[in-house]
Structure 1
Amino acid sequence: MTKEQKKYNSELNRLRIVVEHVNRRLKIFKILSDRYRNRHRRFGLKSNLIAGIYNHELTL
């Protein structure tokens, strides 16, 4: 691989690991890791609330 490709891969991996950590933290809430079996119209609201809780934890 060229130096440019290695640099691009390392930058991509840095971004990817951040996203994977966020996914892991959100999957702690079972609603996002298991099959959702409740009313589907409320799923968006509940997932937004979970994301809000996570964002609040980041600011503390």
Structure 2
Amino acid sequence: MINPIIQVVTDSGYQGIKKIHSNSKHPKKRSKKSPLTKQDKAQNREISQGRILNENVIGLIKRFKIISDRCRNRRKRLGFKMQFNSRHS
């Protein structure tokens, strides 16, 4: 379960999260009967911009295999390897 204090930001595919976690934010979907207003579109854009920043950071972290894989080497040289990988990627 997610702490109620934490705000969860999702994409429009997670419409049902409001039932599970009340402190969540997701873009509104349009329907055939009710198109989105300018205010709804502005809110969707704001939510998406925040999500894009998070997704980019996650992508940068995944780019460095040393962070995502298990370290199987000596700890003494770990700092050197982190510096080497960050400079050569």
Q: Tell me how far apart the structure 1 counterparts of residues 67 and 63 of structure 2 sit (CA, whole Å).
A: 10
TM-score, reference length from structure 2: 0.42
Count of residues in correspondence between the two structures: 51
TM-score, reference length from structure 1: 0.56
Q: Give the match's secondary structure for 1:36.
A: coil
Match of 1:17 among 39, 48, 55: 55
Structure 1 residues 40 and 5 mapped into 2: Cα distance closer, same or farther (>3 Å)? farther
The percentage of aligned residue pairs carrying the same residue is 31
Cα deviation, 1:19-51, whole Å, max 9, x if unaligned, reads 122122212xxx333221221121111011111
Query: Which of these two proteins has the greater Rg computed from alpha carbons?
Result: 2
Q: Give the match's secondary structure for 1:41.
A: helix
Structure 2: segments with no counterpart, 5+ residues: 1-27, 29-38
Structure 1: segments with no counterpart, 5+ residues: 55-60
